[in-house]
Amino acid sequence: MKRLLYILFVLPLCMNAQNMYNVSSMFENDLNGTARFVGMGGSMSALGADLSTIGTNPAGMAMYRRNDVSLTAGVNFNTAKANYEGTVTKSNDANAFLGNASIVCSIERDSELLKYLNIGLAYRRNNNLAGEFEMAAPTNGFSQQFVMKQLYDNSGRFQYNNLSSALYTDLYISWLPLLAADAWLCDEAGENFLTYPGDTILIWYPDDMAYYEETRGGVHTVDFNVSANIKDRVYLGATLGVSSVDYSRYTAYSESDEMGAIYTLENNMMLKGSGCNLKLGAIFRPFKYSPFKIGVSVHTPTWYNLNQYTWAVITDPWNKSFSTVDADRYGSDMQIRSKLRTPWRFNASMAYTFGTYLALNAEYEYADYSISKFTNRGSVTKAQNEEINYNMQSQHIARIGAELNVDGFAVRLGYNYISAPFKTDAYKDLMNASVVETSTEYMNRYEKDVLTCGLGYHGEIFYFDMAYKLEMQKADFYPYYDAEVPNPGAQVNLFNHTALATVGMRF
């Protein structure tokens, strides 16, 4: 009942509402950093002494007793396989990246209490959002046109022969049926989008549908760290992170029959912004003559200021296009400004070393995505936050890592288990979205398994490391959500292969 009330009373106010699926990827942190860090599965929060711990447990930087500088680059290969009721579509994408550039200055202190005071600075690619995805299959009786008609019924109805720019400033009329009317997806008389309210008869009956998506960019972070070594027993650290968002997505959804394309709906979105957070950490060596260590850290939410630019193009059966960047009708592309607060993160870890030969680390991390919030004022964010709370859940991450080192040559292995960020029944409800929202698709990602391995050589001054990472994840993709006739969606298998290398120097 509560969700129905949001639909009825908040829809007219949602001209500038951000969509949950546009920002959910920003809640997570990719496993990225130095090749040594990735090779051990990012499991170094109690072990420390790696530049990438600046972004996980800041106290790990206090382990340094020498200066260190490094540079990491790599390449991603993404593969997606979608199965829509027996029809399989594959897509691939590759991109090169600069993953990490870091430096730490270790200052020895002439003090019984404070042994070292270290200062660190690092750039890291927090989230890689680049990729491609496509799906094509027979419609089997389903159609996005039904969703357009539902939006028409649930917003203010309009006369097709009175279609004008004024309708695009009406807070009660969704832009998706307006675009559909432009493309003549209406009754044969051309007067109403529906001949009778609630009628589900289509004017155009599709045989096939196709979807294509291309995304680029991601989230990049610069971290500033201060850490301290106290009596070689307690290590403390704090990291201030400043993030930059530069993300774009292009999608195209089309339906066709034996005569060719009925219509194609293209959506473009650019998301830009910045944010900051604080990470605090500590590592304890509880037993004086034992290398056993315990680590804890907490990450405050990241507070983002975001600007989203979006526009759409629809092409009718006669190959004529209508675009929302037509200033005479739509008033140019839409800019949506929002403030987003991501969840708190908590990490607990432990590590043990056997001389200089073997190092082991295990850790657990927790974040409750359902408490993420848009913090703009007004009733608009109440509906958005209700959607986040309803569709997202707590995430649990377990990491283990091991490193075997013989005469400077190292072999590393790691594993991550990451639970699903979305509930199994999560969906994108356009009845409770911005009236300018014309993108209907959504993907629910489930648990992820990450396998890593690496090799390295550390000399007296210079070192070189390599790592390989395989991410495997299942997801369900839906080209749209139809409350009356649920779409079965596509079962998706996602694979991400990453190879990276680090060169560095300690002095």
205-237 tens-digit pLDDT: 899 999 999 999 999 999 999 999 999 999 999
Beta bridge mates, 283: 235, 295
More confident residue, 376 or 63: 63
Lowest mean pLDDT among 150-159, 209-218, 423-432: 150-159
Helix residue spans in 155-286 (DSSP H): 175-182
Cα separation values, 197 from 135, 154, 187, 193, Å: 32, 10, 12, 9
Q: Which two tokens stand for residue 277?
A: 């957070």
- pLDDT number for residue 160: 62
Q: What is the mean predicted confidence (pLDDT) over 296-313?
A: 93
Lowest mean pLDDT among 37-46, 47-56, 421-430: 421-430
Amino acid at 78: N
- pLDDT number for residue 196: 44
Q: What is the mean predicted confidence (pLDDT) over 387-396?
A: 91
Phi first, then psi, for residue 317 (nearest 5°) are -60, -15
> Does residue 402 carry a pLDDT above 50?
yes
Using left for φ > 0, alpha for ψ between -120 and 50, and beta otherwise, residue 301 falls in: beta
> Does residue 17 carry a pLDDT above 70?
no
Lowest mean pLDDT among 289-293, 376-380, 435-439, 492-496: 376-380
More confident residue, 460 or 430: 460
Residue 339: name the closest of 300, 385, 370 by CA.
385
Cα separation values, 225 from 29, 255, 278, 361, Å: 18, 52, 10, 22
Q: What is the mean predicted confidence (pLDDT) over 306-326?
A: 87
d(CA 262, CA 273): 37
**Contact present, 236 and 281 (Cβ < 8 Å):** yes
**Contact present, 185 and 174 (Cβ < 8 Å):** no
More confident residue, 171 or 354: 354
- pLDDT number for residue 161: 58
- pLDDT number for residue 435: 76
> Does residue 88 carry a pLDDT above 60?
yes
d(CA 505, CA 460): 9
Q: What is the mean predicted confidence (pLDDT) over 381-387?
A: 80
- pLDDT number for residue 27: 82
Q: What is the mean predicted confidence (pLDDT) over 197-208?
A: 70
- pLDDT number for residue 383: 76
Q: What is the mean predicted confidence (pLDDT) over 412-432?
A: 90
> Does residue 317 carry a pLDDT above 70?
yes
Would you say how long the chain is, in residues? Answer: 507
- pLDDT number for residue 153: 77
d(CA 188, CA 206): 16
> Does residue 279 carry a pLDDT above 50?
yes
- pLDDT number for residue 133: 95
> Does residue 7 carry a pLDDT above 80?
no
> Does residue 9 carry a pLDDT above 50?
no
d(CA 165, CA 125): 42
- pLDDT number for residue 21: 84
- pLDDT number for residue 235: 97
For 402-433, what is the HEC assignment? EEEEECCEEEEEEEEEECCCECCCCCCCHHHC
Lowest mean pLDDT among 3-12, 82-91, 338-347, 451-460: 3-12
> Does residue 203 carry a pLDDT above 90?
no
Residue 345: name the closest of 372, 323, 312, 315 by CA.
372
d(CA 483, CA 153): 13
Beta bridge mates, 211: 135, 253
Place of tokens 């034996």: 258
Name every residue whose Cβ is closer than 8 Å to that of residue 12 and which is 6 or more positions away in sequence. 171, 172, 435
- pLDDT number for residue 3: 38
Q: How many CA atoms lie within 13 A of 92 on its CB side?
A: 3
d(CA 312, CA 321): 10
- pLDDT number for residue 5: 35
> Does residue 297 carry a pLDDT above 70?
yes
- pLDDT number for residue 323: 83
More confident residue, 201 or 311: 311
At 486, the pLDDT band (50, 70, 90 cuts) reads confident
Share of the chain above pLDDT 70, in %: 87
**Contact present, 436 and 473 (Cβ < 8 Å):** no
Residue-range domains of the chain with CATH: 2-134+211-506 (2.40.160.60)
Lowest mean pLDDT among 206-215, 334-343, 452-461: 334-343
Sign of CA dihedral 329, 335, 336, 342: positive
> Does residue 387 carry a pLDDT above 90?
no
Helix residue spans in 59-206 (DSSP H): 144-154, 175-182
> Does residue 6 carry a pLDDT above 90?
no
Most confident of 163-172, 180-189, 320-329, 402-411: 402-411
- pLDDT number for residue 380: 59
Question: Taking the model in full, what pTM does it have?
Answer: 0.89
- pLDDT number for residue 429: 82
Beta bridge mates, 45: none
d(CA 340, CA 388): 12
Q: Which two tokens stand for residue 332?
A: 């140019």
For 77-118, what is the HEC assignment? EEEEEEEECCEEEEEEEEEEEEEEEEEEEEEECCCCCEEEEE
Share of the chain above pLDDT 90, in %: 62
> Does residue 314 carry a pLDDT above 90?
yes
> Does residue 130 carry a pLDDT above 50?
yes
> Does residue 417 carry a pLDDT above 60?
yes
- pLDDT number for residue 18: 67
